[in-house]
A and B are shown apart, each in its own frame.
Chain A
Amino acid sequence: MIDLASLDIPRPDITDRDLAGFWEGTAAGELRVPRSKVTGEHIWPPRPSAVGVGDYDLEWVAVPSSGELFTWTVVHQTGLKGYSGITPYGVAVVQLDDVPVRMAGFADFDPAELEAGMRLTAGFVDLGEGVHLLVWRKDEG
């Protein structure tokens, strides 16, 4: 595992109006996604309205924090601060269990172990100042 908290990586703006609910969730150790009370749909990535419907009164709900590896990349070259010093690293796209949502996150293990369909579980890394970053870890169970 890599201690992302020790690196000066790009930090998200956790006050972004459309994304703040997600960051509140990661701070609480959950993956949260906006859902429309009108259509019942999960809206990911987050948008200000239910897709195709002018429904702005969305509720943030917890979704499963585990799923299967859908696709990935192994980054060998990046200009992103912090990350440029730890290449190669994996970025995993995970199809969450039970909901039609794919979430990308830093793969917190040796990228050589990335394998289609592998089970992954969300982890949350405290970067300080209220930022908790989603990372994907191998299911130990």
Chain B
Amino acid sequence: MTEQAAIIAGVAQTDFSKASGRSVQQLALEAAFAAIADAGLTPADIDGLMPYKIGPTAEDLIAGLGLEDVRFTNVSHMGGASPVASLRTAALAVQAGLANAVMVFVARNGRSGARVAARLGAQVPGTSLREGLEQPIGLSTPAQWYSLMARRHMIEYGTTREQLGTVAITMREHALLNPDAMMYGRPLTMEQYASSKPIADPYLMFDCCLETDGACAVVVTRAERSDSLPHKAVRIAGVAEGHSDNADDIINRRDFFNLGLTKAAPRAYALAGLTAKDVDLALIYDCFTFEVIQQLEEAGFVPRGEGGAFVQDGHIALGGSLPVNPHGGLLSQGHIAGINHIVEAVVQLRGDANDRQVTGAEVAAVTGWGDLGDGSLAILTV
């Protein structure tokens, strides 16, 4: 893999807000133009596009960027696991010569426009099970589905409210170092966390990610272009996707905690020739607090059942043994389907993260989580 590795040449994100005041097409274009410039390219260099399942299309960007000959497009259907999985597809495309430069992008007015409930129907697999067996009994949202897993983890492993709260507070403390985070300047105490309104118990409001207006774009190209870039090239060392057993139904998994990530992680490490111990920082798809604990376990950073204690002991904070989401994550920076985790990984690996820089960051792991536990993992290196 090393010889032919693809690289991330450019990244960009718009401002993150509750009300962008722009169309999603404009947000996508803003991120796209900026990412192309960040890569030292011109729009004409882009000949591959990978949109998100929901939002602006490849055609929107072909028209808006004035691209004359896009020859590769593809859409991953793994919910929030899609942007990370798309890195692999983009890498394969450039390595195979199907395209020279592929842009992966997500743009949404996730707060002021189509919020999560509205997007869900178009996205989640197993529609007949959702509509036939779940909605009639009052079960219908990701917070509710995943809280079933969090509750079971509490029963089986003794994971605590305080450990969930530690995830929320750690993400917030990171966001306080990131002027681009939606929660910049807004500290969060354990008391505020614990007294926030319940959403789907055990999930309280501060266990839940933000809903965000904004866009991100990532440009993938061949490693041989590394020397001509304005910034340090970030190598896509290994990316894999995985799907949990019983992929369309959380409730009846024999191994209740297995995720797509459980299967993707060993594949991604093997491709990269690295192990979890080599990772300097992790960008974990923190749609909810417990999902950080679960993914730390399933990605091999800590044995199953020990994620809560690992978090509580401070390992995931900046300065800890495995800093997680220095930008503040989906919980406190913003939620652009997790592609903002890829942007942050690149910024960190370039050494450009200012006050939140992880010292000596050379290997980053980025997880994606989607729908009913689809998973992806990217190992990025410099």
Give chain B's interface secondary structure class. helix
* A7 CB, min distance to chain B CBs, angstroms: 10
Once A19-B132, A45-B133, A93-B148 are accepted as A-B contacts, the answer to whether A78 and B141 lie under 8 Å apart by CB is yes
Contact of B117 with A by CB under 8 A: yes
CB-CB < 8 A to B18: which residues of A? Answer: none
Q: Which of B197-205, B278-286, B307-315 contacts A (4 or more CB under 8 A)?
A: B197-205
Which residues of chain B come closer than 8 Å to A13, judged between CB atoms? 131-132
Q: Please give the distance in Å from A51's CB to the nearest CB on chain B.
A: 9
Interface residue total, chain A, C-beta cutoff 8 A = 39
Cross-interface CB contact of A73 among B128, B139, B155, B197, cutoff 8 Å: B139
Is A93 touching B138 in the complex (CB atoms < 8 A)?
no
Of B141, B148, B152, most A-chain CB atoms within 10 Å: B148
Q: Can you list, as one digit per residue, whether each of A99-133 has a CB less than 8 Å from chain B (1) or not (0)?
A: 01111111000010000100000000000000001
Query: Pick the contact of A71 from B126, B137, B152 — CB < 8 Å?
Result: B152
Chain B residues whose C-beta falls within 8 Å of the C-beta of A3 in the assembled complex = none
A61 interface hit (Cβ, 8 Å): no
B 124-138 binary contact with A (CB < 8 Å = 1; else 0): 001011011111111
A74 within 8 A of B: yes
Contacts of A58-83 to chain B: CB distance below 8 A: 70-80, 83
Interface size on B, residues (CB 8 A): 33
CB distance from B269 to the nearest CB of A (A): 28
Contacts of B161 in A (CB 8 A): none
Minimum CB–CB distance from B239 to chain A (whole Å) comes to 28
Among residues of B, the one whose C-beta sits closest to the C-beta of A115 is B155
* Cβ–Cβ contact A104 & B200, under 8 A: no
Please, which residues of chain B bring their CB within 8 A of the CB of A80? 135, 138, 140
Q: Does A38 contact B (CB under 8 A)?
A: no
Interface core residue of A75, A101, A135 (most chain B CB under 10 Å) = A75
Kindly state the separation between the CA atoms of A74 and B204 in the bound complex, as whole angstroms. Answer: 11
In the bound complex, CA of A83 to CA of B144 (Å): 14
Residues of chain B with a CB closer than 8 A to A88's CB: 198, 201
Shortest CB-to-CB span from B135 to chain A, Å, is: 4
- A76 touches which of B131, B197, B251 (Cβ 8 Å): B197
Query: A9 on the interface (CB 8 Å rule)?
Result: yes
Query: Once bound together, how far apart are the Cα atoms of A56 and B131, in whole Å?
Result: 22
Question: For the complex, is B244 an interface residue (Cβ under 8 Å from A)?
Answer: no
B180 in contact (CB, < 8 A): no
List residues of chain A with CB under 8 Å of any chain B CB. 9-13, 16, 18-19, 22, 44-45, 70-80, 83, 88-89, 91, 93, 100-106, 111, 116, 133-135
